[in-house]
Structure 1
Amino acid sequence: MKYTGFPRWSRLDNAAKIFPSNSSAKDSKVFRFFCELREPVDPQILQSALDETVRQFPFYCSVMKRGLFWNYLEDSSLRPTVSPESTPPCLALYSPNRKSLLFRVFYYGRRINLEIYHVLTDGTGAMQFLCTLVYRYLLEKHSEEFSEPLPKLAYTASHSQLWDDSFQKYYEKPPLPKPVLRRSAYRLRGERLPEHRLSIVEGHMPVDALLDCSRARGATVTELLTAVLIRAIHAQMRLRDNARPVVITVPVNLRNYFPSESARNFFTTIHVGYDFSRQPDDLDAVTAHVHRCFRENLTEKRLHERINALCFLEHNIPLRLVPLLLKDRILHTAAQLADRQTTASFSNVGKITMPAEIERYIHLFGAFTSPDKIQASVCSFQNRYVISFAGPFRSHDVERAFFRSLVQMGIDVEIAANLPYVE
């Protein structure tokens, strides 16, 4: 696909604006989505599939540039090339000193890996891209197996819908937002891996077993797993640490509440805190508390208020005129203050579906990110649930306690890891 004439450009969406000023070697704001097939990847066919996929998602070939007041995305003639995986996961994709795409595609054995800078999209948008890439790859790889009409992906948004900034679509000028004051959260400690490397621990388990356990407690799978994570963190805390709450940040896909086909960022977060100095430690009590927090925060009204609050500063004329260099410092300080109010993150990408005709070629999907603290990312495909922990610490005590809790509930868990050292 060739671009002619003066390059088009677009503003970063509201969520993307904070990432450039807070990206670093230890927190690159890059996340990985992967698909594991049931056969080795053919790199030539994968390249062909990638060429077709970027024609459907042309804005993925944008580069980020710095303006006087904001960063922005500009169309480029750069095209992605697939390559074998040869570097640690989630290395930085953006550098102000070079012109480069904000995503890359690797392969390793049976896995197709998509790494993407959070400025470009969120988890839902990235998974849409990966599913399209895998779909096109498998149609070409096994073309002799498919007859007309070819199987169709459920996701068929237009280019304009894919590039829609849904934050602006649903923003309404609100009254001056009230500041939300939160206590400083408990923060995990421990020896970190050298060179800002990540340790990845995956847990594979059956979906139906998780559903049975969550339904037995009157909760969703996300609520139950958030509660299990809170207790796994508490198991590593010293007695005096109970003075601070364990706070989990949970990203929320706003497309589930406000109609949108956007493949850009369209998410917010909620905070689920638990104070072990005042509340009991048993799983049922923690799960019930998490359930209440989700029900209170996950309403259209509360989320619309959140959209308005997030966009308020962006639409404040005096602040819009602040030079980008100063904005970067302000956003960096704000992010550091917010970071003190969270312990870990839990992100549920949701259920991944593909056309039935090609599902037999796919083993699983998964995801993880590059956090400065522990983050669990989960998704399901068919009857397989994949929970991936990513973190900078040498110790895996939290992950071990988390998966042991699931085993104690009667759930079969298969563990895989890329440990960069032997404990």
Structure 2
Amino acid sequence: MKSYKKIEWRELDNASKIFPSTANNKDTKVYRITCELYENVDPCILQEALDLTLETFPLYKSVLRRGVFWYYFEISNLSPTVDAENTPLCSPIYIKDKRTLLFRVSYYNKRINLEIFHALSDGAGAVWFIETLIFHYLILRQKDTFNGNIPKLNYKASISQKMDDSFWKNYHRQNKRGLKKRDKRINAYRIKGTRLDENRMKLIEGSLSVNEVLKISHEYNTTLTIFLTSLFLYSIYKDMPADKQNYPIILSVPINLRQYYDSETARNFFSTMNVSYNFEKNSPKLEDIIKNVNNIFRENLTKEEIDLKLVKFMSLENNSFARIIPLPLKDIVLKFADKINDHKVTTSISNIGRIDVPQEIKRYIRSFSVSVSARSPKITLCSFEDRLVISFTSPFRETDIQRTFFQFLSNKGLEVEISSNE
């Protein structure tokens, strides 16, 4: 009698559903986390480390399949292969109707790159994966130096917890009664530029001291994230044509929901808030921008507001009519909605936060950085020890916004180390 292997599959979480429908060559929905070491990478050891890491992240063995009504993950028997870096930054990973894994690991000299299709995980989940990967790599690479005292990685959660759909787990239908009416949204200022050939991304990174940036932030009586968000608004304004200053600059800022709910998931679990500033109606001084941004952060990051954001996020999925719409029609609707939303937001800034590894292996690591596919200049940032890396990705040749941003920091007396993929 012929036996059949049981197929293991999982639904996409709520935040993931839009990415397969809207990914294209101009915006691949791929992001990269890079670890820079102090010595060149050994690809054979990196492959061994990747194999070990996958044992505790089984969802990373998934391929994306198309169902009648929704996309879904199917656990595969595919094995990822570590390769020398040979593709442009954030090149496509998900190819429609092609059975491939949704991430890749590459290396170049001292750098290890993890690139992920956003449907698989958000930045916080991916950080957890690369922390584990780098731990295994360095333990295998440096095992002779530990004299038998091999450090242990403190796993934060079980495999089942990592695979949780935390949107469903923390969603409460009774909260729907408090759902506010949708605010009237206006068109935002859109950054224009000369696109690079072949949909390539320009990456410009600035490395600074975390403590020095914190000092400047505290001079303005604010946090590092609010200070850099305000500086980004100011830098966009300085490049803004005079006849466009009646449009507000609106930044989308991701919110890591794990900070507000009981969640150890390695999948997507985030919301967003919009930070808006109209320079025609308000002062262009950085001090005044910071005051406004500080108020927006304070209003949006209460538990009540976070609960409402979660309910809004889940409302479409719980709509009976939306559930029965066939997937091809959903693709069309989501692409259309994404284009409309593109007019409502100027760009985004995302702080992945502090990346950490066991103390015993920190001396082998120089820095971490994060970059993302972009339809307009975007900022992503993260820190490791005292090293903060601010990454601008942009599809445009022009770099005036980036120059204004880093020159401001340099003029404040900060030492900024600039690098680029050009």
TM-score (norm 2): 0.97
Percentage identity across aligned positions? 44
Distance 1:5 1:159 in 2: 22
Contact kept? 2:143, 2:150, Cα under 8 Å: no
Distance 2:217 2:165 in 1: 35
1:147 deviation in Å? 4.4
1:156 deviation in Å? 2.9
Contact kept? 1:151, 1:355, Cα under 8 Å: yes
Q: Deviations over 1:294-331 (max 9, x none)?
A: 01101111011001011011011121011111111111
TM-score (norm 1): 0.97
Opposite residue 237 of structure 1, the aligned amino acid is M
Opposite residue 337 of structure 2, the aligned amino acid is A
1:177 deviation in Å? 5.3
User: What is aligned with 1:120?
Assistant: 120
1:178 deviation in Å? 2.0
User: What is aligned with 1:169?
Assistant: 169
The residue correspondences of 1:121-270 to structure 2 (distance < 5 A) are 121-173=121-173, 174-175=176-177, 178-270=181-273
Contact kept? 1:128, 1:263, Cα under 8 Å: yes
Contact kept? 1:351, 1:379, Cα under 8 Å: yes
Opposite residue 123 of structure 1, the aligned amino acid is G
Distance 1:203 1:119 in 2: 28
User: What is aligned with 2:324?
Assistant: 321
User: What is aligned with 1:388?
Assistant: 391
User: What is aligned with 1:307?
Assistant: 310
Report runs of 4+ in structure 1 exceeding 3 Å deviation: none
Opposite residue 28 of structure 1, the aligned amino acid is T
Opposite residue 47 of structure 1, the aligned amino acid is Q
For structure 2, the residue ranges without an aligned partner over 5 or more in a row are none
Distance 1:284 1:179 in 2: 30
Secondary structure of the structure 2 residue equivalent to 1:294? helix
User: What is aligned with 2:294?
Assistant: 291
Q: Deviations over 1:269-300 (max 9, x none)?
A: 11001000111011100111111110110111
User: What is aligned with 1:20?
Assistant: 20
Distance 2:336 2:296 in 1: 27
Distance 1:220 1:331 in 2: 35
1:148 deviation in Å? 5.0
Contact kept? 1:242, 1:276, Cα under 8 Å: yes
Secondary structure of the structure 1 residue equivalent to 2:205? strand
Deviates more, 1:405-414 or 1:49-58: 405-414
User: What is aligned with 1:362?
Assistant: 365
For structure 1, the residue ranges without an aligned partner over 5 or more in a row are none
Distance 2:322 2:406 in 1: 46
The residue correspondences of 1:61-76 to structure 2 (distance < 5 A) are 61-76=61-76
Distance 2:318 2:396 in 1: 39
Secondary structure of the structure 2 residue equivalent to 1:314? coil
Opposite residue 249 of structure 2, the aligned amino acid is V
Contact kept? 1:128, 1:155, Cα under 8 Å: no
Q: How many residues align?
A: 416
Contact kept? 1:62, 1:102, Cα under 8 Å: yes
Distance 2:261 2:412 in 1: 35
Secondary structure of the structure 1 residue equivalent to 2:317? helix
Distance 2:205 2:155 in 1: 28
Q: Deviations over 1:345-391 (max 9, x none)?
A: 10000011111110000000000000111110100101110001001
Deviates more, 1:174-183 or 1:218-227: 174-183
Asked if 1:281 is matched to 2:284, the reply is yes
Contact kept? 2:65, 2:97, Cα under 8 Å: no
1:163 deviation in Å? 0.3
Please give the root-mean-square deviation of Cα atoms over the aligned residues, in Å.
1.1
Contact kept? 2:226, 2:290, Cα under 8 Å: yes
Secondary structure of the structure 2 residue equivalent to 1:357? helix
Contact kept? 1:28, 1:90, Cα under 8 Å: yes
Deviates more, 1:394-403 or 1:325-334: 325-334
